[in-house]
């Protein structure tokens, strides 16, 4: 004679299922967040060097007019690096960045944070479709001071982030389905009684 063995009660089974889903979600999400942060932080690397080099030259007394700037960059379309120099009041002195035919202004608070902390590295979005990784480095020459802002588009970095997110999402869905089958759809065990 066979007796049905239904296993743990449904609330215990549900608790175990949700616990497994939570642990699986953490284990799948953690690598994504680590890779995403690495991609985003590495997007600052060229700008850090350029901003620090330019700030050092300006601190030594080099005139802004003597600096060799890269080509003009349309922030909503181009992937190139742009450079902007601001005076101590946050007014643009020189810039290769353009947006809708105008010079975009970095918010004064971003500049002041750089002055207080030595540097500021942020994602700047002056309008939809124009996101840039910028590095702000202050400089001082005697009694005058200002800021060097160097940035570049995040478009390609964000494409890579989206691809990684899609892969991680597919892995999560596959594992969720596997856990669901294991917990709810496998046939119940049977025990023979003597």
- Which residues are CB-neighbours of 18 under 8 A, at least 6 positions away? none
Q: What is the pLDDT of residue 187?
A: 58
Strands (E), the chain: 2-5, 73-74, 82-87, 92-95, 97-98, 120-127, 130-141, 144-153, 189-192
* pLDDT by 10-residue block (mean), the chain, 194 residues: 57 85 92 88 88 92 79 87 92 90 90 94 91 94 90 90 92 92 68 49
3-state secondary structure of 51: helix
Domain ranges of the chain: 10-37+158-185, 45-153
User: pLDDT tens across 48-61, in order?
Assistant: 999 999 999 999 98
Name the fold adopted by 45-153.
Answer: Beta-Lactamase (3.30.450)
- Which residues are CB-neighbours of 52 under 8 A, at least 6 positions away? 119, 137
**Torsion from C-alpha of 180, 185, 186, 189, nearest 10 degrees:** 120
Of 156, 123, 163, 165, nearest to 31 by C-alpha is 165
């Amino acid at each position: 004679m066979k007796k049905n063995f239904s296993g743990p009660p449904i609330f215990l089974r549900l608790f175990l299922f949700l616990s497994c889903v939570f642990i699986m979600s953490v284990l799948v999400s953690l690598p994504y967040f680590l890779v995403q942060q690495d991609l985003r932080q590495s997007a600052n690397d060229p700008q850090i060097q350029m901003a620090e080099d330019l700030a050092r030259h300006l601190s030594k007394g080099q005139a802004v007019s003597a600096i060799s700037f890269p080509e003009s960059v349309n922030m909503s379309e181009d992937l190139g690096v742009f450079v902007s120099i601001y005076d101590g009041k946050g007014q643009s002195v020189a810039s290769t960045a353009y947006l809708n035919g105008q010079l975009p202004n970095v918010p004064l608070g971003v500049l002041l944070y750089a002055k207080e902390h030595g540097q500021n590295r942020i994602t700047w979005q002056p309008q939809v479709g124009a996101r840039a990784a910028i590095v702000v480095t202050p400089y001082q020459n005697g009694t005058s001071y200002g800021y060097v802002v160097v940035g570049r588009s995040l478009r390609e970095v964000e494409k890579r982030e989206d691809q990684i997110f899609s892969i991680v999402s597919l892995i999560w869905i596959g594992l969720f389905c596997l856990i669901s089958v294991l917990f709810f759809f496998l046939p119940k065990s049977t025990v023979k009684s003597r």
